[in-house]
Amino acid sequence: MAAKLLTYTSVALTLASSVSGMYFVERDEWNAHPPRGSYTTITNPKGVKVHYVGPEYSSRDHSECGAYMLSIQEMHLANEVENYMDIAYSLGVCEHGYVFDGRGKGHKSGANGDATLNANHYAVLAFLGKAGLTEPTDDQIIGIQDSIAYLRRAGAGDEIKGHRDGYSTECPGEALYALVGDGSLDPGELYDGGEHTVEDGETLDDIATEYNVPKRYIITANDLPESGNITAGDVLEIPARGVPLGSTPPGGGDGDGDGDGDGGSDYEPFPGASFFKSEPSSPIIEAMGERLVEEGCGKYTSGPSEQWSEADLESYRCWQVKLGYSGADADGWPGQTSWDELKVPAS
């Protein structure tokens, strides 16, 4: 465990140095175990259910949050009654406002109480308890909003409910459930990012409000001092909220504040390397396969399907070679650059 914690600490420092519209931690970055089976695709979910960890949660340094996420997964995998095939939650959010990828977008969770409840909503876990740390921090509220924005960009509906709204439980605790009820966890309208030229008299707070992006992301994206000092004429990058580090904003918006708020996009954003290595069943895989066939790289015997297979690996390897990659760079596992070149239609 010590070796894993050291690995995570270095990753956390890297993540903090540059960011788009959320602090996102991929599965391989928190050393997740692979799932023990195939995920079940979630179709037209109504929104999200918010959870907490249960009886007690102790505040900790951010360098320990990855190990905590791993401990939850290991507890779930060891649960012989529920027989979980992976961590039950879609995403987890630590007190520092980082969003940890769990079962992820496009997949049913195992956390909401039964098969119907899991089909209706994603499950977002806040690192909070009934004792210890019980009140969400300001950063954590931002992170929960980010997680909801991320899932809405993946097709989730607008509902935000507590675990108790569908299942008899105290979860997600009184403090967090109050925020569910008063709308504080709603990320609001989502713009696709772009650039903004600072006008006379404008403050960073004004700009953050205009584009509905937390000020901390504008500061990080533009390498500004923590004070957020800006001057007229400065050209600022406005991050797309709910878009992880390294991903392209869904619409490549112009940042003029005229977006329609639906987070629409012509192409599917790169879902992360760990998504493919979990061998998922997802419409994204079928759409990818159809594009590979169009590019002359189809290695399928009966056509692409939603389930990742060896045929997908061979087809994607062909695409990498077509782009000029070789050796370890043409191993068949999708990466950010080759994925962006493939231009998979958004599902």
What would the 3-class secondary structure string for the chain be? CHHHHHHHHHHHHHHHHCCCECEEECHHHCCCCCCCCCCCECCCCCEEEEEEEEEEECCCCHHHHHHHHHHHHHHHHCCCCCCCCCCCCCEEECCCCEEEECCCCCECCCCCCCHHHHHHEEEEEEEEEEEECCCCCHHHHHHHHHHHHHHHHCCCCCEEEEHHHCCCCCCCCHHHHHHHHHCCCCCCCECCCEEEECCCCCCHHHHHHHHCCCHHHHHHHCCCCCCCCCCCCCEEEECCECCCCCCCCCCCCCCCCCCCCECCCCECCCCCHHHHHCCCECHHHHHHHHHHHHCCCCCCCCCCCCECCHHHHHHHHHHHHHCCCCHHHHCCCCCHHHHHHHCCECC
In a domain, 267, yes or no: no
Residue 137 has pLDDT above 60, yes or no: yes
Domain boundary residue, one of 236, 259, 282 = 259
Do residues 33 and 139 share a domain?
yes
Do residues 161 and 206 share a domain?
no
What is the predicted pLDDT for the residue at 268?
Answer: 86
What is the predicted pLDDT for the residue at 135?
Answer: 96
β strands within 233-315, DSSP E: 235-238
Residue 87 has pLDDT above 80, yes or no: yes
Do residues 160 and 238 share a domain?
no
β strands within 83-179, DSSP E: 91-93, 98-101, 121-132, 159-162
Measured in Å, how far apart are the chain's first and last C-alpha atoms?
A: 38
Do residues 63 and 195 share a domain?
no
In a domain, 86, yes or no: yes
Domain at 193, CATH number: 3.10.350.10
Domain at 114, CATH number: 3.40.80.10
Residue 10 has pLDDT above 60, yes or no: no
Helix (H) or strand (E) holding 343: none
| Mean pLDDT over each residue of the chain, to the nearest integer | 86
Q: Phi then psi for 162, rounded to 5 degrees?
A: -90, 160
- Which residues neighbour 115 within 8 Å (Cβ) at sequence distance 6 or greater? none
Domain boundary residue, one of 182, 211, 241 = 182
Which domain covers residue 109, as residue numbers?
A: 2-182
Which has more pLDDT, 347 or 314? 314
Q: pLDDT band for 335, please (50, 70, 90 cuts).
A: confident
What is the predicted pLDDT for the residue at 7?
Answer: 28
Are the CB atoms for 270 and 337 separated by under 8 Å? no
Which has more pLDDT, 14 or 150? 150
Number of domains observed in the structure of the chain:
3
Are the CB atoms for 13 and 126 separated by under 8 Å? no
Half-sphere exposure of 110 (CA within 13 A, CB side): 19
In a domain, 266, yes or no: no
Do residues 46 and 131 share a domain?
yes
In a domain, 173, yes or no: yes
Do residues 244 and 196 share a domain?
yes
Give the predicted TM-score (pTM) of the model: 0.68
What is the predicted pLDDT for the residue at 347?
Answer: 67
Do residues 7 and 32 share a domain?
yes
Lowest mean pLDDT among 6-20, 134-148, 210-224: 6-20
In a domain, 137, yes or no: yes
Do residues 22 and 167 share a domain?
yes
Q: What is the mean pLDDT of residues 90-112?
A: 95
Do residues 285 and 235 share a domain?
no
User: Percent of the chain at pLDDT above 90?
Assistant: 66
Lowest mean pLDDT among 49-63, 78-92, 164-178, 273-287: 273-287
In a domain, 24, yes or no: yes
Q: pLDDT band for 245, please (50, 70, 90 cuts).
A: low
Q: What is the mean pLDDT of residues 254-274?
A: 55
In a domain, 77, yes or no: yes
Residue 255 has pLDDT above 60, yes or no: no
Do residues 116 and 16 share a domain?
yes
In a domain, 237, yes or no: yes
Do residues 127 and 247 share a domain?
no
What is the predicted pLDDT for the residue at 273?
Answer: 79
Q: What is the mean pLDDT of residues 72-100?
A: 96
Domain boundary residue, one of 209, 235, 259 = 259
Do residues 166 and 17 share a domain?
yes
Q: Is the preceding omega at residue 45 within 30 degrees of 0, hence cis?
A: no
